[in-house]
Chains A and B, each alone.
Chain A
Amino acid sequence: MSGNVFIDNIWVIPALPLLAFILNIFVIRPLDVAIRDRSHGAGHAEHGHAEQHGQDNGHLADNTQHTVPDIDALVEESYVQGIDDIDGHIATPAALARSIRKAEHTSGGAAAVTLMRDAESHPHHAHGEPTIFARVNGYIGILAMLGAFAWSLGVLFAMLGNGALRNGTVVHLYDWVAVAGINYSVNFYVDALTAVMLVVVTTVSALVQIYSQEYIEHEEPAGYSRFFAWLSLFTISMLILVLSANFLMIYIGWELVGLCSFLLIGFLGKDAPKMQAGRPSPGAAAMKAFITTRVGDFGFLIGILILFTVTKTFEFTAIPRLLTGTDQALLTAAMILVFCGAVGKSAQFPLHVWLPDAMEGPTPVSALIHAATMVAAGVYLVARTFVLFHQFAGPQSLEVVAYVGGFTAIFAASIALVQTDIKRVLAYSTVSQLGYMFVGLGVADTIGPGTFHLMTHAFFKALLFLGSGAVLHALGGEQDMRKMGGLASRIPQVAIPFLLATFSISGFPFFAGFFSKDEIIAQTLQHGDYVLYAITLFTAFLTAFYMFRLWFLTFGGEGGRFGGWWGGQYRDTRTISQPGIRLWLPLAILAVPAVFAGFLGWNVVSGGGFNAFISAANVTPAGIVGAAFDNPFTSGATYVGIAAAFLGIGLAWAMYGARIIPANVLTRNPLGRGIYQVLWNKFYVDEVYLAFIRFGIMGLSRIAVGFDRLVIDGILNGVGNGVVAFGRGLRRSESGRMQNYGAAIFGGALVIAAAFFVVVYFNIK
């Protein structure tokens, strides 16, 4: 007990969304369904576009996807032609539309039908308006989130005022199970790290809920209540995760956010896969996300089991005390296994494959879960257990963290270079930025840089996703950047915050992303790891490039003002609908931290800075408490980083904004084209996994079933038939096979048993 009212009653924060959730599903949603049923006829609750039927015949095939799965080569060709159109500057709207239409018509099969239907019907899941009860559910969810946000601010300010609180307080709720001296307790833990996470999670959640009102009302009005219920459920789970005081609770939160991710990715579960766009169905994407993260959770669980078996406790605060004298190699293995959980949840290589597909969820979900909060849980996990990595496990454990992060950063950034789906570019960008965070945790001796980037990234990436959602909304669900362009002058209220966030993620000086990313790059140098330095620096360049490629393709381009920076030619004919205030206001609000949060980390401005604050958390290894970082502008390396960012921005402008360099400059030669194909196909990782599942796991499973049927049942039936044949031969009985079969076996068994008894019993005498 800390004596602080906010901290001692920390359960209020998850309890508020829990209340909203319970009210939603047990009280208000039934009313919503009831009046919807009355207006649509009974049994038609949430009746989406049931008229659709596609070829989603349930093979694992649509779980992973090809360039353009299940479509003949001709279409593939014309599709690649389309790519050339965008990465060259030959594209005219008419030519592009022609090439895509050609692809639709020549493919002939279901895929083309699907695409045409996508194009025509996409946001028109719409069947009227959400009911009044559905809207009330939205308001309750938002109110609960605002309350949780206020409470989180209370916790944060309490810690700012009283430094002792930052070390952490354990709040015991109840014992889940207690057996013979081992407790499985439901405990919360509040320290500086928790406080930062609470503020980030509740801020983004509240803004996303406000935004979702307008978004979902167009996307799927029938599911309005359900959407808010699941957003609340997600927030509860995420809050449990960040508040957990032990490995039991963090694992519970960990799995629950996975559930919510599953439910929300599959929110539009009635949709078919969009084969032509290489997009899986929401149901397949949801399943893939859950199962892929479970692969990581398996490692996480084994890691927990090792620590638990050694220490007999789950508590984060108690484990370090009890670990002294334990074999370091064992602990290294345990922590690498724990990190596996982070690899799955934070979509690091080799378990990154689910995150791009998760973009099939509605865009607010992508912003909240798959950009700002849940995917950062892996980073949070490593930060939370940092002392175990740093102090108890061998140095290899943090090296693994840093190198997996570094490799993923450059790997994902390279894929993002060529993607044409706006949400997928952002998804790969998220994977890449999460990689940065792991580098930050891996090379620094404190959790400061990694968690700082987590925070700034949460703001600017949430903004980018919500902004892309506003674009989708404006264009009636179009996600293909080849059909965008020049939107800045058409929807400026979206474009301005989006541009600010793009500068932030690209590391433009004085923006939030600049400070947090620069700190990580500087740490790799300080750590003396030149490989990671080169990787992170080069990735910074790539990031600036692909983010501004996205900017120019979407908002700027040919004919735009300031040399293509603002507005320009729009490459499609669809009318653009203007976003309402509930869509753009959250963007404007998020723009503030996305631009200015960086100064929190700069100790010149904020007295010790973010790092000093968060390093007071109990997870920091002894002796390193409160390390502050210098003014970045005193180091020459900072200017190298700025140069990388400028280079990326400049190149993107030259290729896609001003069109000075033709965009197909690299794809003209066979080598470039080959590289392009590999990147476009995401290094074929999905294909490898699919083959492994099909031929490895499913193959073994088929063998197991065959063993059951042929060997075990074969013996059984063989014995049965043998006995029957024997009996038949003996007695010439024709009284029915089944009865003989049974009687013979029963009798036989009894004889065996009796004989057995006699032999054994009379032997003991």
Chain B
Amino acid sequence: MFPLLTTLVFLPTIGALVLMVGPKGASRWIAAIFSGVTFVLSLWLYIGPLVGGSGTAGFGSIMHPAWSESIPWVHFAIGTLQLNIDYHLGADGLSIFMLILNALLSFLAIIGSWHVSNRTREYMALLLILETGVMGVFCAFDLYLFWLFWEVELIPMFLLIAIWGGQRREYAAWKFVIYTIFGSAFMLAGIILLYFSLGAQNGAYSASFSYLASHQVAGTYSIFGISIASQLLLFLLLYLGFAIKLPMIPFHTWLPDAHTEAPTAVSVLLAGVLLKMGAYGLIRICVDFAPQGARDFALPLAVLGAINIIYGAGCSLVQRDMKKLIAYSSVSHMGYVILGVAAAIGPGATNPAFREAALTGAAIQMFSHGAVTGMLFFCVGVLYEKAHLREINAFGGLMARMPRLTWIYTFAIMASLGLPGLSGFVAEYLVYTGSFANFPAQTIIAAVTMILTAGYLLWMLKRAFYGPLNPRWAHLNDANLLEMAPLVMLGVVVLFVGVYPGFLVDLLRPSLHQIIQTMGSLPVAGR
């Protein structure tokens, strides 16, 4: 069988190598072609299982992914301790959906970076390597491999911010790296602990996802004499890394800095797929491998999610810089993912349908936020390229000069504030309806936030685009076709998901259903 996943992961890297040896003038085209081909190939992940005949059930779950490739890699033993690491890639519905999003956004990011003229070749190469790292994260089916890709993604991201960023780029890049490494150190501790605990408990050492998902750690650990449920500790260790990536308050302050300093395309990828790695890890790793721990932590998680939502919105309200405003809005919107997951794993004898609705909403929010925030960053990028400024109050009346940008920006803002018919509404509505049964107070806080969300986004729109034209900007030209292309493509996706979310739900259902079943099999209200 053709190793589609391996191809998807490494094709961008090959592209980066070709770039380095290829003609300098063609680097944009080489990057666009490699990422474009990767995107087209990634669509087969979705179409393949459908034409394979088993219908939407064919996307499979973590136990039986639709796509799987495995090669033994590192195997050795010291005494009773065995280390078994496989090169194991897999993709079920949840992975497929993020892989396609990553391929799409990487492609659009390259299109949207056409104007970059400073060290274009290196820039494009790093974007492609970043794509490889993120692809790997979303389809690694071995926990060590997952961690490896998780770290690989850091390097190009660091360089992209530190070299092509704004004025405070070094500070932002370091902050990003330190935050992430701090989290991944704990994550690594969690991974090692999980691996050896399960191995010791069952006599079989494996870091394969299907093994980890089907065997659960029991008992308690004792740290300095304090006893703690093993699963809860594992959950917390693993989650710390993901919480920083999500980002969850109070580990979010790297995000506004990184977003503000990063070049447009990097902001798009950062918001579009890198934050999703945290959400993906939360669902795929934390919940699947430590379900009881997840349930024990569900209430704090829901509270933190609700705080994320309202706190991020509040911070957005007083931002003066467009990018920073959108960065904080990301904090707020990612809170819906946290709340949705918390509701899905929460305690209480809730109807499983509510759990599944909440988890589906969280997953769609991952996709929707990626596309919508991508659009917003592209819009700001277009404006910044022309005006070299992002200060909201410095604009005014741009509608008169840039009608095209005005309407696509309005579209993106409407999608972001959850207008029905666009993808954000589907996600938020599913989260609201699914989580109210489990966490009514947190859901109400999330719902209040929709007022603030409308407030900060429309206020920004009004200040920058409405009113009489500030004569300072009388020279600006409207967005051209190249600048509009990524915006329109994302807009079509956002609209399509908003009107007919069924196809995403079908893709996700088997994966998420598996989780809901696991949660249903746990003893209810043990604590």
CA A184 – CA B401 in complex, angstroms? Answer: 42
Which chain B residues numbered 390 to 433 have a C-beta less than 8 Å away from chain A? 392-393, 396-397, 399-401, 403-404, 410, 414, 418-421, 425-426, 429-430, 432-433
Task: Give the chain B neighbours of A305 by CB distance below 8 A.
Answer: 432-433, 436, 440, 443, 447
A297 interface residue per 8 A CB criterion = yes
Q: Which residue of B lies closest to A48 (CB)?
A: B400
Whole-angstrom distance between the Cβ of B215 and the nearest chain A Cβ: 16
Tell whether, in the assembled complex, residue A58 and residue B392 are in contact, meaning their CB atoms are under 8 Å apart: yes
Tell whether, in the assembled complex, residue B353 and residue A53 are in contact, meaning their CB atoms are under 8 Å apart: no
Whole-angstrom distance between the Cβ of A71 and the nearest chain B Cβ: 18
B223 interface residue per 8 A CB criterion = yes
Q: Which residue of B lies closest to A272 (CB)?
A: B468
Tell whether, in the assembled complex, residue B318 and residue A702 are in contact, meaning their CB atoms are under 8 Å apart: yes
The answer to whether A298 and B223 touch (CB under 8 A), given A43-B401, A58-B396, A176-B502, is no
Q: Which residue of B lies closest to A699 (CB)?
A: B318
A756 interface residue per 8 A CB criterion = yes
Q: Which of A248-256, A546-554, A660-668 contacts B (4 or more CB under 8 A)?
A: A248-256
B214 interface residue per 8 A CB criterion = no
Q: Which of B170, B224, B318, B357 contacts A701 (CB 8 A)?
A: B318
Task: Mark contacts of B172-186 with chain A using CB atoms, 8 A cut-off: 1 yes-contact digit, 0 otherwise.
Answer: 001101100110011
Q: Which of A43, A50, A58, A255 contacts B393 (CB 8 A)?
A: A58
Tell whether, in the assembled complex, residue A697 and residue B317 are in contact, meaning their CB atoms are under 8 Å apart: yes
Which chain A residues numbered 244 to 285 have a C-beta less than 8 Å away from chain B? 248, 251-253, 255-256, 259, 262-263, 266, 269-272, 281-284
A757 interface residue per 8 A CB criterion = yes
Whole-angstrom distance between the Cβ of A559 and the nearest chain B Cβ: 40
Tell whether, in the assembled complex, residue B178 and residue A255 are in contact, meaning their CB atoms are under 8 Å apart: no
B189 interface residue per 8 A CB criterion = yes
CA A470 – CA B516 in complex, angstroms? Answer: 61
Tell whether, in the assembled complex, residue A753 and residue B360 are in contact, meaning their CB atoms are under 8 Å apart: no
B219 interface residue per 8 A CB criterion = yes
The answer to whether A270 and B397 touch (CB under 8 A), given A45-B403, A182-B353, A750-B185, is yes
B250 interface residue per 8 A CB criterion = yes
Task: Give the chain A neighbours of B450 by CB distance below 8 A.
Answer: 294, 297-298, 301
B68 interface residue per 8 A CB criterion = no
Task: Mark contacts of A697-721 with chain B using CB atoms, 8 A cut-off: 1 yes-contact digit, 0 otherwise.
Answer: 1101110110010001100100010
B314 interface residue per 8 A CB criterion = yes
A57 interface residue per 8 A CB criterion = yes
Task: Give the chain A neighbours of B400 by CB distance below 8 A.
Answer: 46-48, 50, 270
Tell whether, in the assembled complex, residue B474 and residue A50 are in contact, meaning their CB atoms are under 8 Å apart: yes
Task: Give the chain A neighbours of B314 by CB distance below 8 A.
Answer: 697, 700-701, 704-705
Tell whether, in the assembled complex, residue B178 and residue A742 are in contact, meaning their CB atoms are under 8 Å apart: yes
A671 interface residue per 8 A CB criterion = no
The answer to whether A255 and B425 touch (CB under 8 A), given A305-B443, A697-B452, is yes
Q: How many residues of A contact B (CB 8 A)?
A: 87
The answer to whether A291 and B458 touch (CB under 8 A), given A305-B433, A704-B311, A753-B189, is yes
Q: Which of B24-32, B191-199, B291-299 contacts A (4 or more CB under 8 A)?
A: B191-199
Q: Which of B88-96, B101-109, B141-149, B459-467 contacts A (4 or more CB under 8 A)?
A: B459-467
Q: How many residues of B contact A (CB 8 A)?
A: 96
The answer to whether A312 and B317 touch (CB under 8 A), given A177-B360, A753-B188, is no
Task: Give the chain B neighbours of A530 by CB distance below 8 A.
Answer: none
Which chain A residues numbered 172 to 197 have a C-beta less than 8 Å away from chain B? 174-182, 184
Q: Which residue of A lies closest to B459 (CB)?
A: A287
Which one of A49, A50, A57, A286 has the greatest number of beta carbons of chain B within 10 Å? A50
Task: Mark contacts of B326-359 with chain A using CB atoms, 8 A cut-off: 1 yes-contact digit, 0 otherwise.
Answer: 0000000000000000000000000111101100
Q: Which of A178, A294, A738, A753 contacts B454 (CB 8 A)?
A: A294
The answer to whether A175 and B318 touch (CB under 8 A), given A50-B401, A270-B399, is no
A-B CB contact pairs (8 Å), 25 listed? A47-B400, A50-B401, A58-B392, A58-B462, A174-B502, A180-B353, A248-B429, A256-B419, A269-B466, A270-B399, A272-B468, A281-B466, A286-B462, A287-B459, A305-B440, A308-B433, A309-B436, A698-B317, A705-B319, A738-B174, A752-B185, A756-B189, A756-B223, A757-B189, A764-B221
The interface of chain A, by Cβ under 8 A from chain B, is 43, 45-50, 52-54, 56-58, 60, 174-182, 184, 248, 251-253, 255-256, 259, 262-263, 266, 269-272, 281-284, 286-287, 290-291, 294-295, 297-298, 301-302, 305-306, 308-309, 312, 697-698, 700-702, 704-705, 708, 712-713, 716, 720, 738, 741-742, 745-746, 749-750, 752-754, 756-757, 759-761, 763-765
